[in-house]
Structure 1
Amino acid sequence: MTNDITRRSLIATGTGAAFIAAMPRSALALNDASARALVDKVVGEINRVIASGKSLGQMIGDFEGIFRRYADVDLIARSTLGADANRASAAQIAAYTDAFRGYIARKYGKRFKEFQGGQIEVLRVSAVKSWHEVQARVNLRGEAPFDVRFLVSDRSGRDLFFDLLIEGISLRLSERTEIGSMLDRRQGNIDAMTADLRRAG
């Protein structure tokens, strides 16, 4: 396993700065302890799946469940669709969100499988404007550890993570680029792109 696979292939190119600047600054009940508690659950479940010895298909199913329980999937999916979300119908958004959830589980589940023999460790949490950032470290056998950060908010009414940054690279922004490219290949046809997304990852 190379550093390129474990570090950079998890998330494509992009940064989180533009998205972070656009987050609302409302007062939230979320605090350091509850943000860390959420990420402790996420990390604990990911570590258990990594160590389970299950097949890749089973692991991907488990990762999709983790994403469904602990991520703000609606917000993440809509933001990756970008401005095109404004012209989509409610039915198209629902279908896209469902397809996106499976796509993310397949794409990142395959990458997390490469962590077998390693572990993710939660380190610290800090408040950032209207959300909390929880820093973790991925420890892999025979390689230098690297940084993973979960951005957590309760804007949906629950404590959920709305982005994942690996060495500063944002899942949301990088996937927005990927989805935009897929949509361009379909000449802006959201239904056709959604169908492609169900097979991608």
Structure 2
Amino acid sequence: MPRSDRRLFLAGIVGLGAAALVPGAARAELTLEDARRLIDQVVSEINEVINSGKSEEAMYRDFRRIMEKYADVPIVAQSALGVAWRRATPAQRAAYVEAFKDYISRKYGSRFRQFIGGAIEVRDTRKVKSFYEVITIARLRGEEPFEVRFLVSDKRGRPLFFNLIIEGVNMLATERTEIQAMLEQRRGNIDLLIQDLRKAA
């Protein structure tokens, strides 16, 4: 599989993250163990899905569940939309976030079958400023192992991953570029962008 394809796929696993912006309620400080535990669970569920033998549609549903449970999807979606988020109405924001979830799930869920027989292994965790970086190794059948880094924060009041870096490439930038290009094609019309996201695969 071309390196670009595997990068795009794995970006979706992480949700294509962004720096969390909304402060959470009073809570204990996020620890290295919290971050490691979160990604251990994420990786376990991803490995289970890609080797489950399920249909692509079933994998898509499972992937969306993983995203909603472990990723800060609303912040990821907001970051991808950029400054247009500020002028979106509450109804548009809600519709956009839901469409973004479907867009990401369809886009990367369709690639799950290409990873059957593969696995992701958690290797290390380290603190970086106000968040933690969990380093994993992806081992895909017929491919050289490569590094995948999950970034974890608790700005929502609980640990969630908000970004992914694969072999030094920040996948958030890729999704932001794509969403911005789609919005530009629609001359900044958020409603039309939402329709496009619902249809995109």
TM-score for the superposition, normalised by structure 2: 0.88
Q: Which amino acid aligns with 2:75?
A: L
- What secondary structure is seen at the aligned counterpart in 2 of 1:114? helix
Name 1:38's counterpart in structure 2. 38
Counterpart Cα distance in 2 of 1:197 and 1:129: 34
Counterpart Cα distance in 2 of 1:6 and 1:142: 12
- What secondary structure is seen at the aligned counterpart in 2 of 1:178? helix
Pairing 1:83–2:83 present:
yes
- For the 8 Å contact 2:56–2:112, the answer to whether it is kept is no
- For the 8 Å contact 2:153–2:159, the answer to whether it is kept is yes
Query: How many residues are paired up?
Result: 194
- What secondary structure is seen at the aligned counterpart in 1 of 2:83? helix
Q: Which amino acid aligns with 1:166?
A: I
Counterpart Cα distance in 2 of 1:71 and 1:106: 16
1:11-90 equivalences in 2 (<5 Å): 11=11, 29-90=29-90
Q: Which amino acid aligns with 1:69?
A: K
Any stretches of 5+ residues in structure 1 without a counterpart?
Answer: none
Counterpart Cα distance in 1 of 2:196 and 2:45: 29
Tell me how far 1:9 sits from its aligned partner.
Answer: 6.2
1:91-130 equivalences in 2 (<5 Å): 91-130=91-130
Tell me how far 1:110 sits from its aligned partner.
Answer: 2.3
- What secondary structure is seen at the aligned counterpart in 2 of 1:152? strand
Name 1:194's counterpart in structure 2. 194
Name 1:172's counterpart in structure 2. 172
Counterpart Cα distance in 1 of 2:8 and 2:109: 15
Could you report, residue by residue, the CA deviation over 1:143-196 in whole angstroms, capped at 9, with x for unpaired residues? 100111111000011110011222222232211100000001111000110110
Counterpart Cα distance in 1 of 2:8 and 2:104: 16
Kindly report the root-mean-square deviation, in angstroms, between the aligned alpha carbons of the 2 structures.
2.4
Name 1:133's counterpart in structure 2. 133
Any stretches of 5+ residues in structure 2 without a counterpart?
Answer: none
- For the 8 Å contact 1:3–1:143, the answer to whether it is kept is no
Could you report, residue by residue, the CA deviation over 1:66-98 in whole angstroms, capped at 9, with x for unpaired residues? 000000011111010001111111111111000
Q: Return 168-177 or 118-127, whichever deviates more.
A: 168-177
TM-score for the superposition, normalised by structure 1: 0.88
Identity %: 51
Counterpart Cα distance in 2 of 1:105 and 1:36: 24
Counterpart Cα distance in 1 of 2:151 and 2:61: 23
